Amino acid sequence: MGEDRRKEIKYHLSEEEIDELLREAKDDRRKERLGFLKNLYYGDSIAEAADREGRSAATGGRWADAWNEGGLEGLMPSFGGGRPPKLDEDEQEQLVEMLREGQPWKSQEIRHLLKQEFDVEYHPDYLGKFLRELGLSYAKPRPKRPWRPENPEEILEERVDDALDEDDQPHNKREGDDEEGWIVNDDICTDGGTVLGFFDASQPQPYDNSRRVWYVDDPHVERPLVKTEDSAVGFYAVNGTSVVQWKETEEKEQICKVL
């Protein structure tokens, strides 16, 4: 046995007995596990033995533990019908960490992962219930901009309060500014000199994140957005007139033309 296996493998059967079982095996999954044993007997490490059968080192480690603890019966669970076998608590924790590292996931990708890493299969109707019990959410991904402030709600509330406190001059006029150029237009300002709304300029992505996927954590993704060439500049007014225009750039001169 190679020293890089990191665990001693018990010899519950002889090589001849394993060869006989391989000749009699009709189920491909039984053949995989018996082939894994034969590879170990020939001197492969656990990772090498598993790789020859198209399995990961983690799966090989679980197979080796099952063989050591329960012999052939422990290594060969029933593949009959009925409710799929449950993962124990340690395996569930391993699964959640795997899903967290690779999120988001499609349902078929998780089913493949379960088969590849844990050798268990779940019916699609049961898989969703199982994943929700693990704390996963099934949602549409929404792009999350890395530069978004940590406290956007507080910033918005503060700015709204500042705007509503000044009813006789533009809200962004500072003390000491020249009066020239600062004009309150009563035709535009419909609430004592203040128009309340939401203003933004962005280059929106030309596709919809409409496919639901599984998440362990927050169903948002941080990634560069595929953007349109022109910027959408818009003002959504709560008590005035909403405006949206397309501009070639987001330079301040272009933005001011919208306002």
Question: Does a structural domain hold residue 80?
Answer: no
Contact partners, residue 138, CB within 8 Å, separation at least 6:
128, 131, 132, 212, 213, 214, 215
Indicate whether 28 pLDDT > 90: no
Q: What is the phi/psi pair of residue 231, to 5°?
A: -95, 140
pLDDT in tens, 65-110: 989 988 888 888 655 544 545 787 778 888 999 999 888 899 999 9
Question: Does a structural domain hold residue 38?
Answer: yes
Q: Reduce the DSSP state of residue 30 to 3 states and report it.
A: helix
Is 191 found in the same domain as 172? yes
Is 231 found in the same domain as 171? yes
- Through-space distance between the first and last CA atoms of the chain, rounded to whole angstroms: 77
Question: Does a structural domain hold residue 195?
Answer: yes
Is 22 found in the same domain as 112? no
pTM given for the model = 0.41
Is 160 found in the same domain as 248? yes
Query: Could you give the number of structural domains in the chain?
Result: 3
What is residue 157's predicted lDDT score, i.e. its pLDDT? 83
Is 18 found in the same domain as 107? no
Mean pLDDT, range 49-57, rounded to an integer = 89
Indicate whether 185 pLDDT > 70: no
Strand segments, DSSP code E, in the chain are: 137-139, 142-143, 197-202, 213-215, 220-221, 231-237, 243-247
Is 153 found in the same domain as 54? no
Question: Does a structural domain hold residue 224?
Answer: yes
Q: Are 62 and 118 in contact (CB under 8 A)?
A: yes
Question: Does a structural domain hold residue 81?
Answer: no
Is 168 found in the same domain as 66? no
Indicate whether 172 pLDDT > 70: no
Per the structure, the complete domain to which residue 94 belongs is given by 89-135
Indicate whether 45 pLDDT > 60: yes
Is 232 found in the same domain as 147? yes
pLDDT in tens, 101-143: 888 899 999 999 998 888 888 877 788 888 988 889 888 776 6
Question: Does a structural domain hold residue 197?
Answer: yes
Question: Does a structural domain hold residue 44?
Answer: yes
Question: Does a structural domain hold residue 84?
Answer: no
